[in-house]
């Protein structure tokens, strides 16, 4: 048996274990939120929770962690399971996660502001249910062991503040009939599930290769920058330019 086989097997097993830990941690956060929402529903039947919903958007599909329909509004929830220190505010484009490395060092990672990331989901739910922006709430839950190091906007909460935050919205926005209609509409949609994770992934890949304008829903056109620092470089532009100025980088 060649000598390198044993270390190779060892590395493979280690990779598998690490992968498993990461995937468990990932699903753990969402399962935690789903359980909290179920317990809320057991307490008050007017809350209707839904998990992992794929909805249509102008440029493809979008995957939403949780939607909670209630007389007090519709909550669109994005779950993050991060460890370490979390830095961010409502307006920053990117937030920072700081993990502790060896010898008191720290490793920093940047990620998209989850409030911005969840806008797209909020918009998709709003279009699907046909409701105005005053009755829908963009809510971010950090369900891991992360610790907020900056003052977070009120719609960014830890797992244990999720239910108090939802219950703090006590103003009735929809009557029972309307609430039940929204819930039925989403249940029917889920039952007939026009999209699955596979088609959602296909959409994402296709959108990377040839993007569709997220505002107009039209295939974008490859253009060359004439002016500025990036002159000569290619980018994707909307065919409705100049009325639509959406651009995307070529990957």
Please state the φ and ψ torsions of residue 211, each to the nearest 5 degrees: -65, 155
Nearer Cβ to Zn ion, position 31 or 246?
A: 246
Q: Is 220 in the site for Zn ion (CB under 5 A)?
A: no
- Say if strands 147-148 and 85-87 run parallel, antiparallel, or are unpaired: parallel
When asked if residue 54 is in the footprint of Zn ion (CB under 5 A), the reply is no
In terms of Cα–Cα distance, which of 129, 152, 131 is closest to 141? 152
Does 240 bind Zn ion (CB under 5 A)? Our answer is yes
Q: Does 244 interact with Zn ion (rule: CB under 5 A)?
A: yes
Among 216, 223, 235, 247, binds Zn ion (CB under 5 A): 216
Comparing CB distances to Zn ion, the nearer of 194 and 217 is: 217
Tell whether residue 215 is a contact of Zn ion (CB under 5 A). yes
* Smallest separation (angstroms) from Zn ion to the CB of 112: 21
Q: Which residue lies nearer to Zn ion by CB, 156 or 212?
A: 212
**Is 99 near Zn ion (CB under 5 A)?**
no
Among 95, 213, 236, 237, binds Zn ion (CB under 5 A): 213
Kindly state whether residue 77 participates in binding Zn ion, applying the rule CB under 5 A: no
Using CB under 5 A as the binding rule, whether residue 207 contacts Zn ion is answered as no
Rounded alpha-carbon distances, angstroms, from residue 157 to 13, 32, 167, 169, 180: 36, 14, 13, 14, 27
Helices (H) and strands (E) in the chain, counts: 5, 12
Contact 225, 237 (CB under 8 A): no
Listed ranges 2-10, 143-151, 203-211, 231-239: which one lies at the site for Zn ion (CB under 5 A): 231-239
- Per DSSP, the three-state class of 11 is helix
Token couple for 58: 């102008």
Q: Which residues contact 223 (CB under 8 A, 6 or more apart)?
A: 234, 235, 236, 237
Please identify, using beta-carbon distances, which residue of 225 and 246 lies nearer to Zn ion: 246
Q: Which residues bind Zn ion (CB under 5 A)?
A: 213, 215-216, 238, 240, 244, 246
């Amino acid at each position: 048996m060649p000598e390198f086989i044993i270390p190779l097997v060892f590395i493979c097993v280690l990779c598998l274990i690490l992968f498993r830990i990461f995937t468990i941690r990932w699903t753990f956060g969402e399962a935690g939120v789903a359980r909290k929402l179920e317990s809320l529903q057991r307490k008050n039947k007017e809350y209707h929770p839904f998990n992992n919903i794929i909805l249509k958007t102008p440029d493809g599909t979008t995957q939403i962690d949780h939607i909670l329909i209630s007389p007090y509004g519709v909550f669109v929830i994005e779950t993050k399971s991060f460890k370490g220190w979390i830095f961010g505010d409502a307006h920053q484009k990117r937030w920072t996660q700081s993990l502790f490395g060896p010898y008191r060092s720290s490793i920093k990672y940047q990620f998209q502001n989850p409030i911005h990331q969840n806008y797209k989901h909020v918009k998709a739910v709003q279009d699907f249910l046909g409701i105005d922006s005053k009755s829908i709430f963009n809510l971010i839950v950090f369900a891991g062991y992360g610790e907020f190091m900056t003052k977070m906007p009120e719609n960014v909460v830890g797992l244990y503040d999720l239910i108090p935050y939802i219950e703090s919205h006590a103003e009735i926005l929809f009557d029972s009939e309307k609430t039940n209609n929204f819930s039925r509409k989403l249940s029917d949609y889920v039952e007939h599930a026009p999209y699955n994770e596979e088609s959602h992934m296909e959409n994402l890949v296709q959108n990377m290769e040839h993007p569709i304008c997220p505002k107009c829903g039209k295939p974008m056109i490859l253009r060359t920058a004439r002016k500025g620092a990036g002159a000569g470089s290619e980018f994707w532009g909307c065919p409705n330019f100049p009325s639509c100025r959406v651009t995307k980088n070529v990957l």
